[in-house]
Amino acid sequence: MPSRQEVSYFGAGPAPLPTSVVEAGAKAFVNYNDCGLGLGEISHRSSTANKILEDTKASLTTLLDIPNNYEILFMQGGGSGGFSAVVQNLVGVWIERRRRRAEAEVVKANPNADNTQLDELVFQTLQKEVSEELKLDYLVTGSWSLKAYQEASRLVGSKYVNLAVDARKANDGKFGKIPDEETWSLTPTKKEGGKGSAFVYYCDNETVDGVEFPDFPKSLEPQGVDEEDERIVVADMSSNFISRKIDVSKYSVIFGGAQKNIGVTGITIVIIKKSLLPPQTATPPAPLLQRLNIGGLPGAVVLDYATIAKNNSLYNTLPIFNLWVAGQVMADLVSAYGAQKISGQEEISNRKANIIYSVLDKYPQVYRVVPDKSVRSRMNICFRVHGGDAEKEKEFLAGGEKLLLQGLKGHRSVGGMRASNYNAVPLENVQKLAKYLEDYATGQ
């Protein structure tokens, strides 16, 4: 049997963890800090659990320079649960903001009306605005953002969901490019002469298709207007979380499952502006949402950001062992890079990706990188061998397995190869893969 050190694992998720964290986790799962219980056994409401939660928040805040007007939530449901949560919460925010505006206008215009009459007038205004103005903007650049778009359409109805970008139209029906921003059909904001959307959603790194946004989109930059008239920008960062420096202040919500760069399956991290939570923006009452008849609302309480925030992520039973693993990974990065913070990890991630891409580009007669060079993912490197010849690709995978290069098979929906270059993949494993790519291409 091979040892852990001998295996080079490039699977897309669940992904490899730092060996030091795995070894410490084995001890913590049996007897955490000599307390006689393992981390899978202690109460999520214990002082120990609360300390782990606060330490994990602190490490993430340090790594990403998260401003103090943001809240960090630890939830469950993975990225797919996040698709639903975004719709449930942010459509609710849109409705509540519109309700407050309508209430102020109705009261001013009808000073002699009683409460029943005012409530009915507010409802009629809201009903009209929902029907005519509610829009959710989606940038579909790969398989996961497509799933998010489909979930939004399922929940609230396709009439409310604006497909602002369908990247397949720019790439012969397949994902692999991000169209120029001039071609995007975002709902115009108030500053642009429109009414704005409930939010704009995009997936920062497409795990299946190997597409990553190189930078924050220029068209989503803050416009310098009243916060309620700014675009609410939501980013799914499940597969490139804590791999590069980002400006958190440009996002309203960042979310992602932990099982790529951060930890093990079972934790979903959400970073959200506090202005989208009570008391600044109250959750609309269920009877109002039911009368408005918007599908998917009100939604599951365990996906409600306000409820999770109010209860410090402990509304329901949070898997503390999983949280501890994520916290250890983050704490180790804080310790390793010091003042560089996440920029230190970004340098390593870029270097590893460049090593693999340089070999693939060196032998175009053997390898073809799937996505366009302008949007190549640093995390998920997708390529074909000999034009996608099935037998040749089986041969390539078998040769890699003999060298204990594992997890290189592409996603079942697209085939080919995928080398996932997450934070915990050591540089020496990347160099080992690069040598195999070189040797295979030259017939050695």
Q: How confident is the model at residue 298 (pLDDT cuts 50, 70, 90)?
A: confident
Q: What is the pLDDT of residue 237?
A: 98
For residue range 58-114, list pLDDT tens digits in order: 999 999 999 999 999 999 999 999 999 999 999 999 999 999 999 999 999 999 999
Counting Cβ atoms within 10 Å, is residue 435 exposed (0-12), middle (13-18) or buried (19+)?
A: middle
List the domain boundaries for the chain. Answer: 64-321, 341-442
Q: Which fold has domain 341-442?
A: Aspartate Aminotransferase, domain 1 (3.90.1150)
CA-closest candidate to residue 202, choices 221, 190, 217, 189: 217
Mean of the pLDDT values across residues 211-225?
96
Q: What is the CA radius of gyration of the chain?
A: 24
For residue range 179-198, list pLDDT tens digits in order: 999 999 999 999 999 999 99
CA-closest candidate to residue 374, choices 148, 214, 185: 214
Q: What are phi and psi of 268, to 5 degrees?
A: -115, 130
pTM of the model: 0.97
DSSP assigned state of 282: P
Q: Which fold has domain 64-321?
A: Aspartate Aminotransferase; domain 2 (3.40.640)
- The residue ranges of DSSP E strands in 171-267, in sequence order, are 199-203, 205-206, 211-212, 233-236, 253-257
Q: How confident is the model at residue 158 (pLDDT cuts 50, 70, 90)?
A: very high
Q: How far apart are CA 75 and CA 88, in angstroms?
A: 15
**Same fold for the domain at 64-321 and the one at 341-442?**
no
Q: Is the peptide bond before 217 cis (omega within 30 degrees of 0)?
A: no
257-266, 275-284, 290-299: least confidently modelled range? 275-284
